[in-house]
Structure 1
Amino acid sequence: MTDESERAVQAVIDAELRLLDPEVRASAARVLELLDLEFTEFGASGRRWGVESILTVTSGGTVSSESPVKVSEMSGVVLAPGIVHLTYFADNQGRRAWRSSLWRLTETGRRLYFHQATPVPSEAE
């Protein structure tokens, strides 16, 4: 991976972690700074989300500072100039999922364009 690719991947990792931060999620303005205007998500619930619907759920406090999302195995790759694919495992209070994000570079910075979560059953199931 080139230095430029490494910087792009690290910038996206930092942005993804900001989106998981309870303080950021509590602010529609801060979330909007990270979402692409064409953002779409297929959530672990199977629901399709857009910018407006994701702002509604994030403002509802789905991530608390007492129980932050635990992230592991985060890695990324530059797919094309300005496009980074990020994958990771997340545990949000026992709701476990593999997550995949596509970030694109816009005139105003890196923005989350697409996100998908695939639920993982607990070991007990």
Structure 2
Amino acid sequence: MATSTTGMPTQDDCDIVRDCELALLTGAVRGDRASAVLLLHEDFHEFGASGVVWDRESILDMMEEEAADGRVDIKAEDLVTSALGPGVVLVTYDSVTPTRRAHRSSVWVRERGRWQVRHHQGTVVADRASGPTA
């Protein structure tokens, strides 16, 4: 893995993080705790689109249950990665499921040579027919 001389994430790093983020949206990874745990930082937390605040263990439980029930149908649209600083990448996108759309952002950090998501945020997008709200 190439590293820039400034320690800033390279395009290769951003591509790896993008692939990791997309993997977390699949039933294969969500249903395989051993795979998912490799991608979630030990201090992971999420402010979910549902309003629930998740920690690493609770999100692992939820993803495993969701995959076991066959409810994983998540698409990512307009995904963008941005290097924020040495060892830090921001991912933004819209998640689309059969029942809702949400703006998403994830902060990925590289520790001990591995990219892991440290923080995730979801915000439900209002129904376009109802118009904007403040």
Give the TM-score normalised by structure 2. 0.84
Unaligned 5+ residue runs, structure 1? none
Letter in 2 for 1:81: P
Q: Does 1:8 align with 2:13?
A: yes
Q: Does 1:101 align with 2:106?
A: yes
Q: Whose Rg is larger? A: 2
Unaligned 5+ residue runs, structure 2? none
Shift in Å, 1:62: 5.5
Shift in Å, 1:56: 1.2
Tell me the distance in 1 between the aligned counterparts of 2:62 and 2:118. 18
Question: After superposition, where does 1:13-32 map in structure 2 within 5 Å?
Answer: 13-32=18-37
Shift in Å, 1:108: 4.6
Q: Is the 8 A contact 2:93 2:105 kept in 1?
A: yes
Moved segments of 4+, more than 4 Å:
62-67
Q: Paired residue for 2:61?
A: 56
Shift in Å, 1:123: 2.8
Q: Paired residue for 1:46?
A: 51
Number of equivalent positions: 123
Query: What is the aligned counterpart of 1:91 among 88, 96, 118?
Result: 96
Calculate the aligned-residue CA RMSD, in Å: 2.0
Give the TM-score normalised by structure 1. 0.89
Letter in 1 for 2:117: L
Shift in Å, 1:27: 1.1
Could you list the per-position Cα deviations for residues 94-123 of structure 1 after superposition, in whole angstroms to 9, with x for gaps in the alignment? 221000000000115100000000101223
